[in-house]
Amino acid sequence: MSRLVLLFWLLSTPARACDTALLLMMDVSNSIDPAEFRLQTDGLADALIDPEVSEALVQGQVALTVVQWSGPERQEVSLPWTIMATPADVVAYSQQARSLIRAFVLSDTAPAEALRFAFDHMDRAPDCERQIIDVSGDGTPNAGTDVRGLAREAQRRGITVNGIAIEGMGLTITNFYRRAIITRDGFVITARGHREYPDAIRRKILREISRVFGKL
């Protein structure tokens, strides 16, 4: 193939579209101690560079962003929207996730305000086929407005909401996420304590971005 023909082929071949815009929401409310915060950041970083996850991220040209959340006025974009175009992009994003600094301390749990912030931030996402918000947390609301009804708003916006419920004992948080947080097409993964969070987030991200669900 001549250089001219190769150049024409490159220019005429459409870029691969972004399959999924994935907004990862990390709970940093008062119930999360420093060690548990580090388990979340390290767990996310390790999940991204898992070979299966990394391959799916690049194949789908997935766009990622990370938001830390806690009380009513405590939401922060910690990592901006970035398309995982190459394996190097995934490695770089993983490194940034591992070095995240905690945004808030001594703050309440207000998932309604967190979701509204996520809706606004999703408006700034790259043009992707699907939009998914991931909410992780280890508690039920103790501040802010009523979260009920926001799942329906997400559905009207074409957004799927999934969750990781970090449980101590029982299924209190899992059941709350199922009733009030996730959309009809969403799902909840339960982590039995923060030490199960790394495996839970790896499984959840892979389920969200993989088109080959039979192997999960």
Question: pLDDT tens, 15-56?
Answer: 558 999 999 999 999 999 999 999 999 999 999 999 999 999
Question: 152 to each of 70, 136, 149, how far by Cα in Å?
Answer: 22, 19, 5
Average pLDDT of the segment spanning 127-151: 96
Percent of the chain with pLDDT over 70: 90
Residue 101 burial (CB < 10 Å; 0-12/13-18/19+)?
exposed
Count the residues in the chain: 216
Per-residue model confidence (pLDDT) at position 15: 52
DSSP label of 5: H
Q: In which band, very low, low, confident or very high, does the pLDDT at 6 lie, cut at 50, 70 and 90?
A: very low
CB atoms within 10 A of CB 47: 24
Is the pLDDT reported for residue 71 higher than 60?
yes
Per-residue model confidence (pLDDT) at position 160: 98
Is the pLDDT reported for residue 166 higher than 90?
yes
* Model confidence pLDDT, tens digit, residues 84-126: 999 999 999 999 999 999 999 999 999 999 999 999 999 999 9
Tokens representing 87?
């394996």
Query: pLDDT: is 49 or 13 the higher one?
Result: 49
Domains of the chain with CATH codes: 25-211 (3.40.50.410)
**Contact of 200 with 164, CB cutoff 8 Å:** yes
Tokens representing 9?
């082929």
Letter for the amino acid at 207? R
